[in-house]
Amino acid sequence: MAKFQSGKCDRLVNAMHITASVFINDDESGLHHDYEQWLEKLAPHEPISQYRHNDTGEDNADAHMKRQIMGREVVVAITNGQLDFGTWEQIFYGEFDGRRKKRVLVKIIGE
Amino acid sequence: MKSFRKELWFNLPTRRGFVNITPQVETCLQESGIQDGLTLVSAMHITASVFINDDESGLHQDYEKWLEKLAPHEPINQYHHNDTGEDNADAHMKRQIMGREVVVAVTDGKLDFGPWEQIFYGEFDGRRRKRVLVKIIGE
């Protein structure tokens, strides 16, 4: 089950787990529903046995695929102390194998 | 540290299309005077992409067909996002596949590319003015 959470961070923001994403898109619940359905079609969770990765005892091979589609990180310019966004850009954490503690790294460089 | 910022504007006459923006990014780099650093090129719109790949028209047709297969534009009512009155949910999907931004190293005042790397603007919901941000930092 994918969960998308909005956050306002910056410069380099990356998922530290390989079954999660950080991406920029619209904060619109219908679109998030569409992403969930679309990702499940492209990389279905079940049957679990369709993936060799799951032979290791995992059940999250689909999450590794979904994360590749949605991406690992975003890089956002900082101009005059602000995130240099277009009108609708918002940063999201995309979870594809949750129900455990996971992290996102935020690294900011500049002057 | 020096820093340079510029917006590149586009208004494609079609819903979808690819534009090689490498020359414009190179011009930005020359204007910046930066010799060593990083260039960020990002779509400022969430239904467009910036990506690096081959400047070969057959490949661009292949991308068009492949993206349309993975995230079809129609039927429009298959997407909840389109209940808001939009018709561009597929464009939000296509953009995720092709990516939002690229980061390119700057070495000796040049974009430090592999042999075939070219930067493209990918439009998935065009026929309006949209922009790309070029931000260069370094020395």
User: pLDDT of B103-117, one tens digit each?
Assistant: 999 999 999 999 999
The H helix count followed by the E strand count for chain B is: 3, 8
pLDDT, tens digit, for every residue of A78-93? Answer: 999 999 999 999 999 9
Could you tell me if A34 and B90 are in contact, meaning their C-beta atoms sit under 8 angstroms apart?
A: no
Residue numbers in B near A74 (CB within 8 A)? 100-101
Q: Which residues pair with B103 in a beta bridge?
A: B40
Tell me what pLDDT residue A10 has. 43
DSSP-based three-state secondary structure for B92: helix
Rg for chain B (alpha carbons), in Å? 16
What pLDDT is stored for residue A3 in this prediction?
62
Q: Which pLDDT belongs to residue A88?
A: 97
3-class secondary structure, B86: coil
Mark out chain B residues that contact chain A at CB-CB < 8 A.
Answer: 1, 3, 5, 40, 42-46, 70-71, 79-84, 89, 92-93, 95-97, 99-101, 103, 131, 133, 135, 137
Whether residues B43 and A28 touch (CB distance < 8 A) is answered with no
The pLDDT score that the predictor gives to residue B16 is: 98
Element (H, E) at B62: helix B57-70
Does any CB of chain B come closer than 8 Å to the CB of residue A55?
no
Provide the pLDDT for residue B127. 98
B31-53 pLDDT, tens digit each: 999 999 999 999 999 999 999 99
| Three-state DSSP class for residue B125 | coil
Q: A68: distance to nearest CA of chain B, Å?
A: 9
Residue B14 confidence (pLDDT): 98
Complete DSSP assignment for A5-44 = EEE---SEEEESSTTEEEEEE---HHHHHHHHHHHHHHS-
Please list, residue by residue across B123-132, b when 16 or more beta carbons sit within 10 angstroms of its beta carbon and e when fewer do. bbbbeeebbb
Instruction: Summarize pLDDT for A1-52 with one digit per residue, the tens.
Output: 456 665 433 479 999 999 999 999 999 999 999 999 999 999 999 999 999 9
Residue B87 has pLDDT above 70, yes or no: yes
Q: How big is chain B, counted in residues?
A: 139
Nearest in space to A79 (alpha carbons), one of B128, B40, B11, B18? B40
CB atoms under 10 Å from CB of A45, counted, come to 19
Helix (H, G, I), strand (E, B) or coil at B15: coil
Q: Is the pLDDT of residue B95 over 50?
A: yes
Q: Measured between CB atoms, which of B79, B83, B96 is closest to A69?
A: B96
Residues 65-84, chain A, touching B (beta carbon < 8 A): 69-71, 74-77, 79, 84
Q: Which residues are A7's β-sheet partners?
A: A91
CB of B42 within 8 A of CB of B131?
no
* CB B29, CB B136: distance < 8 Å: yes
Any chain B CB within 8 A of the CB of A51?
no
> Tens digit of pLDDT for each residue in B118-137?
999 999 999 999 999 999 99
Nearest residue in chain B measured CA to CA from A38: B71
What is the ipTM, given to two decimal places? 0.94
Contacts of A87 in chain B (CB under 8 A): 44-45
Helix axes B89-98, B57-70, angle to 10 degrees: 130
State the count of interchain CB pairs (< 8 A) between A and B. 80
| Nearest by CB: B45 against A71, A84, A86 | A86
Q: Which residues contact A5 (CB under 8 A, 6 or more apart)?
A: A92, A93, A95
On whether any CB of chain B is under 8 Å from the CB of A57, the answer is no
